[in-house]
């Protein structure tokens, strides 16, 4: 009896522990098939799950999560930034929404160069001029208009409550707020609620009253509550005080765009992903095709041949990205050529098993007739099987670190995703040229890769991650972990990753990702291996063979999976 009692007590303790830990510790055997939310914070995941339980669909939950993340994940959740949504209905129709920021009308190609033509350090990162015109609020309004079911106000209200009543910050958020205190102080003369004398600690309450008021206007007036009136006045005033260039006309003119998803095949799977102005979808499809005909499954996860093949594919794909990818409304992206299987096969022909290809010997391909990584991703599936993958960002952690006075939200520094000067790397080390040059009204190139995968016409996976230039390679490897290496969703997310992006010619490896013998073999072939810290925060959902929703919440962050 006593023994049984102890088992029961242990089980209860385990369940309570799992609950307290959020879902990264959730028991994999718990089966959900009514709905699931996987996102960057426990509070936002709870908001999303509550909406699903109230009968909201995946888009309703996504809208509520977006606003809740703007409060509880200030590093990347936002109303002052932008993002991309990939949507798949239960019936199998797909669509994507581009709510990426745009360059203000007063932007110009050389705006970050000094009189000698050199890039001015940090100007596209830590100034008022670093911000693109925000797209997130319009994106949420538009997503809800087209697909939402519940009342708009009910989707915004949970975020207002979190901002006004406050929420208990995690150890990670306390650390990240503390590490930015001097920047917040310097860039926000006076005060912001992100500053705290003596520093932040886990469990402190973060209250954001100005943000609550802004969210109330959005709740009551929709897009007009943000792009016109009081908030637009405050944003433009903030710009004037800091030499910024976003005008009221820029705000009034901002509109998100529905774009046809790009799709491709990997073995028996259909990949539905984001078209330009994200480079993510095209790069992901190129990478998948590059490795499709090799026996990855036989070689195994992170074995030397697997790593070598993946790195060589990434080298060629990122070289293409630097030249051919940009905003399709301004630059004719050669999508068909880049995704032509014969072209991708030809690119892989220059690779030798004997030695690393030098990136200096690889240039962007040519075709006949003719491109902190703080961001956040959430994946949602509802009761009916509608699914949403959204990746959204301020670009750097806390964006430009500038809070709009009175309105209480952080501004993005997305302009750094443009190529400020051909060949000069941005904060992610990515280079670009004409395709991604700055032009008024143009959207800066992104690496965000929200993706939905089908198998046999049925929903199979919803996936995405933050991580700047590493987004594409993290999504790619997570997909391979499931399809090739038979990992379940949580294992696939937990598994250590590596990254290569053509230039710089390094292979960045998460500590513990590769065993010593693999590292030695790769080094002998000329690969420059750099061991580093955590990369990406993949949040994903897999639909199991028997129709259950299996979440993968990245333990590298506070990411949480909640289902019912
Ligand atoms: N700001 C990172 C990206 O869009 O790729």
For a pocket test of ligand 1, which of 124, 393, 399, 418 has the largest count of ligand atoms closer than 8 A to its C-beta? 393
* N-term to C-term CA, the chain: 32
pLDDT band at 370 (very low <50, low <70, confident <90, very high): very low
Question: Percentage of the chain with pLDDT > 90?
Answer: 91
Looking at residue 374, its pLDDT comes to: 81
Calculate how far, in angstroms, residue 95's C-alpha sits from the geometric centre of ligand 1: 20
Q: Phi and psi (nearest 5°) for 8?
A: -60, -45
Tell me if 542 sits within 8 A of 489, measured CB to CB: yes
Q: In this structure, is the dihedral angle defined by the CA atoms of residues 487, 392, 260 and 139, taken in order, positive or negative? A: positive
As a whole number of angstroms, the distance between CA 139 and CA 137 comes to 5
pLDDT band at 365 (very low <50, low <70, confident <90, very high): confident
Calculate how far, in angstroms, residue 105's C-alpha sits from the geometric centre of ligand 1: 21
436 pLDDT above the threshold of 70: yes
* Omega cis (within 30) before 171: no
Residues 6+ away with beta carbon under 8 Å from 257: 97, 98, 329
pLDDT band at 30 (very low <50, low <70, confident <90, very high): confident
- Cβ–ligand 1 distance for 468 under 6 Å, the answer yes
pLDDT band at 367 (very low <50, low <70, confident <90, very high): low
For a pocket test of ligand 1, which of 102, 276, 375, 398 has the largest count of ligand atoms closer than 8 A to its C-beta? 375
Kindly list the structural domains of the chain, giving each domain's residue range(s) and its CATH number in brackets, ordered by start: 54-257+397-436 (no CATH), 259-374+448-554 (1.10.246.130)
Looking at residue 8, its pLDDT comes to: 43
15 pLDDT above the threshold of 50: no
Residues 6+ away with beta carbon under 8 Å from 44: 65, 68, 69, 72, 73, 77, 378, 560
- Cβ–ligand 1 distance for 375 under 6 Å, the answer yes
Closest by CA position to 539, among listed 18, 69, 108, 33: 69
Closest by CA position to 24, among listed 564, 563, 560: 560
pLDDT tens digits along 301-327: 999 999 999 999 999 999 999 999 999
DSSP designation for 207: -
For a pocket test of ligand 1, which of 395, 399, 443, 473 has the largest count of ligand atoms closer than 8 A to its C-beta? 395
Looking at residue 137, its pLDDT comes to: 98
Q: Token pair of 417, please?
A: 């995703």
552 pLDDT above the threshold of 70: yes
Q: Whose CA is nearest to atom 1 of ligand 1?
A: 395
Tell me if 243 sits within 8 A of 229, measured CB to CB: no
Calculate how far, in angstroms, residue 91's C-alpha sits from the geometric centre of ligand 1: 30
Mind giving me the DSSP string for 377-446? Answer: EEEEE-TT--EEEEEEE-SSTTTTSPBPTTT--BPP-GGGGS-SSTT---TTS----GGG---TTPBPPB
11 pLDDT above the threshold of 60: no
- Closest atom of ligand 1 to 444 CA is 4
- Cβ–ligand 1 distance for 188 under 6 Å, the answer no
Calculate how far, in angstroms, residue 349's C-alpha sits from the geometric centre of ligand 1: 30
13 pLDDT above the threshold of 50: no
5 pLDDT above the threshold of 60: no
- Cβ–ligand 1 distance for 395 under 6 Å, the answer yes
Looking at residue 102, its pLDDT comes to: 98
Q: Whose CA is nearest to atom 4 of ligand 1?
A: 446
Looking at residue 1, its pLDDT comes to: 31
SS3 percent helix, strand, coil of the chain, rounded to 5, is 40, 15, 45
pLDDT band at 191 (very low <50, low <70, confident <90, very high): confident
Tell me if 76 sits within 8 A of 164, measured CB to CB: no
Entry pTM: 0.94
- Cβ–ligand 1 distance for 448 under 6 Å, the answer yes
17 pLDDT above the threshold of 90: no
Calculate how far, in angstroms, residue 204's C-alpha sits from the geometric centre of ligand 1: 30
pLDDT band at 364 (very low <50, low <70, confident <90, very high): confident
Looking at residue 256, its pLDDT comes to: 98
Question: How many other CB atoms sit within 10 Å of the CB of residue 311?
Answer: 21
User: What average pLDDT does the chain have?
Assistant: 93
343 pLDDT above the threshold of 70: yes
Closest by CA position to 194, among listed 397, 39, 40: 397
As a whole number of angstroms, the distance between CA 247 and CA 131 comes to 12
As a whole number of angstroms, the distance between CA 439 and CA 415 comes to 11
As a whole number of angstroms, the distance between CA 105 and CA 246 comes to 8
Q: What is the average pLDDT across 228-249?
A: 98
89 pLDDT above the threshold of 70: yes
Closest by CA position to 333, among listed 371, 287, 289: 371
Q: Token pair of 129, please?
A: 């001029």
Q: Phi and psi (nearest 5°) for 377?
A: -130, 145
Instruction: Give me the residues paired with residue 390 across strands.
Output: 85, 378
Alpha-carbon separation of residue 56 from 40, 137, 154, 451 (angstroms): 20, 19, 10, 22
Q: What is the average pLDDT across 107-134?
A: 97
Secondary structure string (H, E, C) spanning 64-127: HHHHHHHHHCCCCCCCCCEEEEEEECCCCCEEEEEECCECCCCCCCCCCECCCCCECCCCCCCC
Residues 6+ away with beta carbon under 8 Å from 17: 25
Residues tagged active-site: 375
Looking at residue 373, its pLDDT comes to: 59
């Amino acid at each position: 009896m006593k023994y049984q009692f102890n088992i029961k007590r242990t089980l209860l303790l385990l369940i309570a522990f799992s609950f307290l830990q959020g879902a990264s510790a959730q028991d994999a055997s718990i089966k959900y098939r009514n709905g699931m939310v996987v996102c960057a914070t426990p509070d936002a995941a709870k908001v999303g799950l509550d909406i699903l339980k109230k009968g909201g669909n995946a888009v309703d939950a996504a809208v509520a999560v977006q606003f809740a993340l703007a409060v509880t994940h200030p590093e990347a959740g936002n109303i002052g930034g932008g993002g991309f949504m990939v949507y798949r209905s239960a019936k199998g129709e797909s669509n994507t929404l581009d709510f990426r920021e745009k360059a203000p009308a007063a932007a110009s190609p050389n705006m970050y160069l000094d009189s000698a033509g050199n890039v001015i350090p940090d100007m596209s990162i830590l100034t008022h001029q670093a911000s693109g015109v925000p797209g997130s609020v319009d994106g949420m309004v538009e997503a809800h208009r087209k697909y939402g079911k519940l009342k708009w106000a009910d989707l915004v209200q949970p975020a207002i409550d979190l901002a006004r009543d406050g929420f208990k910050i995690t150890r990670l958020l306390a650390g990240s707020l503390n590490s930015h205190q001097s920047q917040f102080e310097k860039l926000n003369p006076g005060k912001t609620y992100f500053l705290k004398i003596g520093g932040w600690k886990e469990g402190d309450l973060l209250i954001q009253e100005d943000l609550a008021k802004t969210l109330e206007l959005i709740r009551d007036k929709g897009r007009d509550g943000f792009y016109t009136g009081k908030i637009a006045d405050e944003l433009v005033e903030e710009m004037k005080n800091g030499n910024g260039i976003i005008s009221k006309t820029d705000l009034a003119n901002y509109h998100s765009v529905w774009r046809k998803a790009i799709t491709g095949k990997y073995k028996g799977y259909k990949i539905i992903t984001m078209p330009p102005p994200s480079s993510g979808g095209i790069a992901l499809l190129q990478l998948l095709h590059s490795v499709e005909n090799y026996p990855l499954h036989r070689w195994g996860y992170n074995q030397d041949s697997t790593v070598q093949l993946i790195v060589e594919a990434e080298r060629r794909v990122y070289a293409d990205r630097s030249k051919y990818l940009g905003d399709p409304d301004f630059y004719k992206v050669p999508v068909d050529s880049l995704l032509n299987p014969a072209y991708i096969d030809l690119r892989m022909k220059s690779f030798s098993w004997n030695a690393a290809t030098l990136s200096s010997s690889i240039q962007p391909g040519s075709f006949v007739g003719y491109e902190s990584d703080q961001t956040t991703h959430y994946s949602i599936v509802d009761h009916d099987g509608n699914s949403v993958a959204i990746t959204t960002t301020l670009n750097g952690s806390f964006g430009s670190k500038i809070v709009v006075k009175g309105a209480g939200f952080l501004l993005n520094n997305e302009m750094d995703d443009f190529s400020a000067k051909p060949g000069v790397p941005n904060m992610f080390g990515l280079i670009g040229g004409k395709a991604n040059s700055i032009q008024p009204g143009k959207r800066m190139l992104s690496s965000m890769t929200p993706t939905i995968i089908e198998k046999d016409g049925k929903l199979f996976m919803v996936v995405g991650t933050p991580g700047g230039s590493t987004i594409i390679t993290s999504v790619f490897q997570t997909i391979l972990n499931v399809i090739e290496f038979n990992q379940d969703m949580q294992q696939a997310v937990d598994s250590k990753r590596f990254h290569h992006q053509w230039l710089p010619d390094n292979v960045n490896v998460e500590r513990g990702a590769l065993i010593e013998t693999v590292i030695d073999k790769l080094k002998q072939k000329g690969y420059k291996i750099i061991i580093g810290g955590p990369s990406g925060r993949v949040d994903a959902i897999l639909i199991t063979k028997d129709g259950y929703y299996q979440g993968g919440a990245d333990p590298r962050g506070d990411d949480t999976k909640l289902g019912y």
